[in-house]
Structure 1
Amino acid sequence: MVAVAQLVFARHPAKRAGTFSTSRPLRASALLATSLIAASLAFSGAARAVDSAPGHQPQANLITPEPTEALTPEAAPTALAAAPETQPPVQTPHPFTQIGAHRQAELRALYQEALKAVTRGDIKDPSHWQAVLADYPLVPYLEYLLLNKQLRKLPYRAVDEFLYQHEGSYLAKRLNRDWLATLHSKQHWHEFQSYYNADMADEPLTCQYLRARLLTGDETALTEVDALWNQGHSLPKACDSLLEVWRAAGRQTAALSWSRATKAMANRKITLTRYISKHAPATIKPDLERLLAVDRNPHLLGQYRNFSRQDEQTKFTILHGIQRLARKDPQKALILWQRYDAQQLFADAKRREVQESLILYLARGNHMAEAERLAASMENFNNADMVEHLLRGALAEQDWQAVKRWIAKLPTEDKQSPRWQYWATRAAEALGHELPPYPAIEASYEALANGRSYYGFFAADRLGRNYNLEDEPTQIPLADQRIVRNHSGVLRAREFYLTGSLGLARAEWYHAVRGFSDAQMQAAGTLAYQWGWHRKGIQAMIDARAWNDLTVRFPLAYAEHMEAQADALSMDANLLFAIARQESAFATDAKSSAGALGLMQLMPATARQTAGKAGMRYRKYDLLKPEFNIALGGRYLQEMLKRFGGNPALAAAAYNAGPHRVDRWLADGRDSLPMDIWIETIPFKETRNYVQNVVVFSVIYAYRNGADITQLRGATKLPAIALKSNAAAATLKAP
């Protein structure tokens, strides 16, 4: 084994007579707890490892997507992303898993006391904690906290020992980042390069690493800055000093400036585009300024003489302006496009991209004739997204011949999907392609009804047969169960989850499961389900493609609150479950980018208004408490049901997109459409998928709550709604 002193010398060149190596030497294995905790430290300030969520009350032993389902990603610790934790298959049980629940609770409480003592700097006899907590999974966090406080003293040996002992873990990566920050602050550039790991680097760390190379004489780092700078978003402040050197070296060329500006414009980063233009070489400035002007006012393309050059900058500006104009005035954009298409030699791929964009916005603006003519003029037009827009326009008009024609244009894979198989069969049925008893049409519906899906349920209802729920509990080999149950990262995630430190629980889980096989992922999902960590149980089954384990994928989570609220409001509890499952996958601390909070993903303003109507006290942080969130979410959902005549599909659409949008989508005669067509023609893809999922999830929850399979028939035949509008009242009918 390599001596620790050799390791320190290899990592700290000042101790090696000026020699330096960036290679990673083998680290010695040592028990860090003894060497760290033996030193009595004064440790002040809040513990960085504590990450609790207010109001979180994990529930033990609660029961927790269709093949197309994808959960909204949780914030993953991408800054620490690297290879999954390297841990050999565990056949010997971890000691902590072999003790009873009472003893586990005692150790949990003792750890919390030790954590507080370390945080306060009160540790006088650390060996006591080491002996008592030897097998507790979170002990490395005490070691980390103690070592972290020492980093400014540059304890190379202790850092190496910790990184070796916990190699591949979330905590090792966290310490490595803290250590790099220390080395950077002390300007130890050689050592910084030695500990730098590209696998865990984000942009600030990458900039610091490139700067360290420059400061140690490696000018080849400048060439790597080119690619780092040439991105369509702003770089962090940590890159400023590096970029100053890079720019002073004349690396911001006209070609790079134009390339980055086009990427920034594509990302709608207009301020960044202006910044690039401001600092760009004089030779490219006029082209950048013209691009910005056309972005502001695409009607400038009508000044043809200003866009007559046959160069790449002019072509890009024309294409960009046409696509910008198409959003507001697709007919004008089409006229301009026809003029420029005859004048300029655009690349085939770019030309097709603009044509498809025009078709999209013409269809959205109900200019179907122009959209269809442009599509017909294109060779091999089969862009699935564009064809689907045209298909939905034909469905809204119930033009079944056009539906049939456009389905034929779809790529083969899309054509064979349950969605378009269903609509092809509906079109054949509507066009009367068969005489009774319709054997081919019934066979097509039968094939769809054999699957558990939105279209399968609609097909089953058209045939008057039972739904196929395909409920198959997961069977996991015992060896894989043991590996997962005894995995140190999984054990740490469990402890953090049970103590309410959800941020750390997520980080440990994320790092633990990334190297799992499908069977191990299913075992992890089953464990999370048993703990009551519903979001992770659901996500694990998605990752393992275990679509038919309905017990884990569709938990009866917070059932007491759900059922009590449903009873109080005289509404279907299964709809409440379905909304919560779709909104947050039962993550009590869920926070959307728009600001929605909790299980039912309520916007604070909506929650405050709903609470006021119900005479309930409102405090924003209470939205992270399941009972309060369900109570307000249930009341808001009831309000939507009342507004839309008890129709759960319309209420779900309003819950997701807002009631005023649903009012618009019911206008212009669309309130008389069959329900399957109305849902399929919802303009927003997110809301369309949302409503379809809620329909399916409601059926699955009825089944999970004990409904007999024969009782579930007809779930897609949703209640009609009489609408009051300026026009005569109309009826939204079931198909």
Structure 2
Amino acid sequence: MIQHTLPAARARRALSHLLLALAIGFCLAATARAAPSLAAQRVAFRQAWAVAQQGGDGWRNWAKSLADYPLYPYLEEAALEHDVDTLDRATVTDFLARYHDLLPAADLRRAWLRSQARQQHWDDFLALYRPGLGDALACDALQAKLAQGGTLDFERDLATLWAKPSLPNACDTVLAAAHDAGLLTDARLWTRIDRALDGGQAGTVAALAAWLPGEEGKVAARLAQALRDPAAAVADAANWPDTPRHRQAAALALQRLARRDTEAADAGWQRLRPRFSFTPTQRDGVLYALALYHATDFDEHALVRLAALPADAQTATSREWRARVALARQDWPAVLAALDAMPAGQQDEDEWRYFRARALAATGHADQADALYGKLAQEPTYYGFLAADRVQGDYAICPLDPPDDPQREQDLLARAGLQRAFELFAVDLPQLARREWSHALDGADAGTLRLAARLAYERQWYDRAVFTYSSGDALRYYDQRFPLASQDGVVPQAQQAGIDPSWAYAIARAESAWMSDAHSGADARGLMQLVPATAAQVAKKNGLDWSGGQSLYDPVVNIVLGTRYLAQMAARYGGAPWLASAAYNAGPNKVDAWLDQRGSLPADLFVATIPYHETRDYVARVMAFAVIYDWRLSGKALPLASRMPPVGQPYRLPDVHSPRRDVTCPATSAPAPASSAVAGTPH
């Protein structure tokens, strides 16, 4: 039964691990003189790793069989880093000497330097400091220099740091010393303020404003306000003088306000336009922001605003939004006019070729439309699949296998760095594994990277293939780019949840690229990127065990909960995968609001008019990935159109009897471009 899935699975895994450990222990005792097996070393490493992270030397009791194990240095480093505040320099120096070219040595060096900086042990800090360890430690090194009576030189010590829009807190003391020494001239302060403005770093601008004299400090503070609170800045600007920097602040505030409240920005523009002598660039920037954000609101005057923008103010984004607004209105002549206004390269993107064909068909040019559909249908992308559905054609998927080069693969497997990477992955330390991978393959050519990705795929380390096979013919390595990770239980869990397994696979692929430890800025975790609070609710609703947020990094747990949450989203939208995918990404409240505004649109037009670029791209990728996964599972593919029923029309879950499209490889077929809905990799 479903409610027993999680505890039963964990119990089986725990029992399996216990039996394995006992068996290994018995074998080791019986064959004390024999070299331990790799499996036994992995078990011993996991045990030693857990102890090493608590500090001290207790881990050594668990690591007696690991002297020649590739990951042994990680154990010692973990224990030393735990106790870093009490380490003496000799202990650290000894470790660095023994493992000088390994990542654990670099980690311990950084940890110890940070500790010495906190304790202001500057002699020890400088003894082991090396340039290139990051901005925070670079500033700590300058602070150490000052503490020992040294002086600062701007060009030598600060110029590189000064060019960055934001710096860590460790630099505050050094910058204050530079200011007191007269190194931060007004001209240099304004140079950095402008960089910070470009980077949207209001905090940096506000901090630097305090070092500017009189009126200059006031206007710099108003620039920071324009970033932080544009509504207040627009209101206050009515009392500002018409100086170059105040014009800059007013224009910036209007542009930032347009993102949040287009009506307020419109009113502010009408008040401030006659007050300030805006430059043409500033004027066009404000007009651009107003036009663009009125378009994302689908304002009734958006098309006129976008079309009226000066040529120099037009961008690829403003041109595409002219087309999206026209699509939302199903104003097909306006769609064609918007597409014609795009430069050739933008017109050639698969999305706009598809909608040109849609517009041609809607304006009575069926033959031209079918010709465009037919050509686009030869591409394995979201829009290629939609085009194939329009002309009832086969899907163009041309699989290839990665090249086989046994000798070079053996050479790669002999690399100590890759050995460590594969072992770290095998003992469930994927973040460290990716670091070793990148370090070992730094500077490698494309062929070497692809061979390494193949080796990773064979070891069920799927994300390496997903990210490596991202261009050219490698886009056709479908087995590797769209793995069927059956050990995670996607198919049976999707079936139990009542959703299509190919859709569940597509969501996992789009969310994490099969990185089980994926963690987003919003605290979404694991393969299907669930937020702990959501996962807890899903577990409760479905009678599933819940062991906390960390359990979401267990692929089995994540898939069980993720498929149930997908089922909840699908039920909210009549089962429609495309709407449920949008809700999975942007949240159901946003999708409900968009449906209230444009729910009468056909599905392909609705997706094209989703205001969030991330969600538009996400839905397109998931739908394309579902086609590919359906083909991988069944040999044919459910028509994409059937996954995108009109709003309000119930969706029928496919089964083995559902009609599917044949998949063929046209002679003229080329791999999808890297920017396409299928070729792109997540994040």
Coarse TM-score class (shorter-chain normalised): 0.7 to 0.9
Amino acid at match of 1:209: A
The corresponding residue for 1:162 is 98
The corresponding residue for 2:572 is 643
- Paired with 2:307 and 2:188, the residues of 1 have a C-alpha distance of 36
The answer as to 2:45 corresponding to 1:108 is: no
Q: How big is each residue's C-alpha offset from its partner over 1:282-306, in whole Å with a ceiling of 9 and x where there is no partner?
A: 3422213444555636476467763
The answer as to 2:638 corresponding to 1:712 is: yes
- Paired with 1:722 and 1:244, the residues of 2 have a C-alpha distance of 62
The answer as to 2:285 corresponding to 1:357 is: no
The corresponding residue for 1:666 is 595
The change in CA–CA distance for 1:207 and 1:381 in structure 2 (over 3 A counts) is closer
The change in CA–CA distance for 1:155 and 1:351 in structure 2 (over 3 A counts) is same
Work out whether residues 299 and 325 of structure 1, in 8 Å CA contact, stay in contact via their aligned partners in 2: no
Post-superposition offset of 1:431:
1.1
Q: How big is each residue's C-alpha offset from its partner over 1:33-92, in whole Å with a ceiling of 9 and x where there is no partner?
A: xxxxxxxxxxxxxxxxxxxxx99989xxxxxxxxxxxxxxxxxxxxxxxxxxxxxxxxxx
Work out whether residues 489 and 511 of structure 1, in 8 Å CA contact, stay in contact via their aligned partners in 2: yes
- TM (norm. structure 2) is 0.80
Match of 1:686 among 614, 639, 659: 614
The corresponding residue for 1:722 is 648
- Paired with 1:324 and 1:563, the residues of 2 have a C-alpha distance of 46
What SS class does the counterpart of residue 391 from structure 1 fall into?
Answer: helix
The corresponding residue for 2:481 is 553
- Paired with 1:269 and 1:539, the residues of 2 have a C-alpha distance of 31
Post-superposition offset of 1:360:
0.7
Amino acid at match of 1:639: Q
Post-superposition offset of 1:541:
2.1
Post-superposition offset of 1:494:
1.5
Amino acid at match of 1:103: S
Match of 1:542 among 466, 470, 492: 470
Match of 1:585 among 513, 516, 521: 513
Post-superposition offset of 1:108:
3.3
**Higher RCO (CA-CA < 8 Å; seq separation 6+):** 1
The answer as to 2:485 corresponding to 1:485 is: no
Post-superposition offset of 1:134:
5.9
Gap regions ≥5 residues in structure 2: 1-9, 15-33, 651-683
The answer as to 2:495 corresponding to 1:495 is: no
Post-superposition offset of 1:572:
1.1
The change in CA–CA distance for 1:673 and 1:122 in structure 2 (over 3 A counts) is closer
Post-superposition offset of 1:608:
2.0
The change in CA–CA distance for 1:309 and 1:182 in structure 2 (over 3 A counts) is closer
Q: CA RMSD in A?
A: 3.7
- TM (norm. structure 1) is 0.74
Work out whether residues 472 and 550 of structure 1, in 8 Å CA contact, stay in contact via their aligned partners in 2: yes
Show the 5 A alignment for 1:207-606. Answer: 207-215=139-147, 219-223=151-155, 224-225=157-158, 228-229=161-162, 231-233=164-166, 235-236=168-169, 238-261=170-193, 263-264=195-196, 269-291=201-223, 296=229, 298=231, 301=234, 306-311=239-244, 313-331=245-263, 333-334=265-266, 336-337=268-269, 346=278, 348-369=280-301, 372-373=304-305, 375-380=307-312, 382-433=314-365, 438=367, 440-542=368-470, 546-558=474-486, 561-606=489-534
The corresponding residue for 2:659 is none
Amino acid at match of 2:437: W
The change in CA–CA distance for 1:184 and 1:55 in structure 2 (over 3 A counts) is farther
Match of 1:136 among 69, 84, 93: 69
- Paired with 2:216 and 2:488, the residues of 1 have a C-alpha distance of 66
Work out whether residues 46 and 427 of structure 2, in 8 Å CA contact, stay in contact via their aligned partners in 1: no
- Paired with 1:337 and 1:263, the residues of 2 have a C-alpha distance of 25
The corresponding residue for 1:206 is 138
Post-superposition offset of 1:349:
4.5
Work out whether residues 151 and 182 of structure 1, in 8 Å CA contact, stay in contact via their aligned partners in 2: no
Work out whether residues 368 and 393 of structure 1, in 8 Å CA contact, stay in contact via their aligned partners in 2: no
The change in CA–CA distance for 1:619 and 1:545 in structure 2 (over 3 A counts) is farther
The change in CA–CA distance for 1:297 and 1:560 in structure 2 (over 3 A counts) is closer
What SS class does the counterpart of residue 588 from structure 1 fall into?
Answer: coil
- Paired with 1:652 and 1:625, the residues of 2 have a C-alpha distance of 23
The change in CA–CA distance for 1:353 and 1:116 in structure 2 (over 3 A counts) is closer
Work out whether residues 131 and 138 of structure 2, in 8 Å CA contact, stay in contact via their aligned partners in 1: yes
Amino acid at match of 2:362: A
Post-superposition offset of 1:505:
2.0
The corresponding residue for 1:121 is 57
Work out whether residues 186 and 212 of structure 2, in 8 Å CA contact, stay in contact via their aligned partners in 1: yes
Q: How big is each residue's C-alpha offset from its partner over 1:121-180, in whole Å with a ceiling of 9 and x where there is no partner?
A: 369999x95xx65643223445657987896143697466435xx43x323422443464
Q: How big is each residue's C-alpha offset from its partner over 1:491-516, in whole Å with a ceiling of 9 and x where there is no partner?
A: 11211221223332232223223322
Post-superposition offset of 1:243:
3.0
The change in CA–CA distance for 1:470 and 1:282 in structure 2 (over 3 A counts) is same
Query: When the two structures are aligned, how many residues end up with a matched partner?
Result: 614
Amino acid at match of 2:395: Y
Q: How big is each residue's C-alpha offset from its partner over 1:254-305, in whole Å with a ceiling of 9 and x where there is no partner?
A: 4444454555556555455444444543342221344455563647646776
The change in CA–CA distance for 1:55 and 1:633 in structure 2 (over 3 A counts) is farther
- Paired with 2:429 and 2:642, the residues of 1 have a C-alpha distance of 41
The corresponding residue for 2:660 is none
Work out whether residues 56 and 589 of structure 1, in 8 Å CA contact, stay in contact via their aligned partners in 2: no
Work out whether residues 395 and 403 of structure 1, in 8 Å CA contact, stay in contact via their aligned partners in 2: yes
What SS class does the counterpart of residue 37 from structure 2 fall into?
Answer: helix
